Amino acid sequence: MKIQNVFKNNESWIAGKLEKDPNYFTELSKGQNPDVLYIGCSDSRVTAEDLMGVAPGEVFVHRNIANMVISIDLNVMSVLNYAVEHLKVNHVVVCGHYFCGGVKAAMQSEDMGVLNPWLRNIRDVYRIHKTELNAIADESEKYNRLVELNVQEQCVNLIKTAEVQKAITERGLQVHGWVFDIHSGKLIDLKIDFDHVLKNIREIYDLGH
């Protein structure tokens, strides 16, 4: 990708859209009504709309290093609040990916400077699931499993918020944990059994909704 080609690419993109539908941008400018909030990794290989095959207007997107849902991160919490309370999405997805540099970095004993507090949240996921992870001898298998468990814990972090608890009660909002496999291009639904996962922690995080 060459930065000087971007505007030319944009012109061909506009032409392509208008060729199929002359009213495309007029319709797009009328507003958005997405049904899904997607929280994914900033990794340049893990696109959001492209890998799901969805068009502009269909998915509300937030991306950060290692698809984290951190309760004191005003950015992700604002996105979540807006998507759930105002856009009224019915699905919230956390999508991780194998070969995630953020997860890999959190497995090393290395001082990453300003990234330390962010990556510390992934180390906490490791601590919670230490017994399972330490039992995996193969390093790349362990790495893949930590990617999956990180997605699961970020889904649990979503369920700890008042917005999500309220929307689950009021309209049956659903939380989904997915992993994108860069090696095959496949999007995998982890089919997390939230009832099972939340059984022991529900009483602690219940905000009364």
Encoded tokens for 121: 């949240």
Tell whether 155 is in a known binding site.
no
Residue tagged active-site, from 95, 97, 155, 176: 97
Tell whether 43 is in a known binding site.
yes
198 binds Zn ion per the rule CB under 5 A: no
Judged on CB neighbours under 10 Å (0-12, 13-18, 19+), 128 is middle
The helix/strand/coil state of 53 is: coil
43 is catalytic: yes
Per CB under 5 A, the list member of 43, 148, 153, 163 interacting with Zn ion is 43
CB of 189 closer than 8 Å to CB of 105: no
48 binds Zn ion per the rule CB under 5 A: no
63 is catalytic: no
Q: Which of 61, 127, 120 is nearest to 95 (CA)?
A: 61
Binders of Zn ion in range 153-192 (CB under 5 A): none
31-39, 47-55, 102-110, 126-134 -> range binding Zn ion (CB under 5 A)? 102-110
Task: Give dist(CA 50, CA 184) in Å, integer.
Answer: 15
Cα–Cα distance list, 187 to 55, 66, 183, 190 (Å): 17, 16, 11, 10
Tell whether 41 is in a known binding site.
yes
Q: How many residues sit in the footprint of Zn ion (CB under 5 A)? A: 4
| Least CB distance to Zn ion at residue 45 (A) | 9
**Interface residues toward Zn ion, by CB under 5 A:** 41, 43, 100, 102
Q: Active-site residue numbers?
A: 41, 43, 45, 97, 100
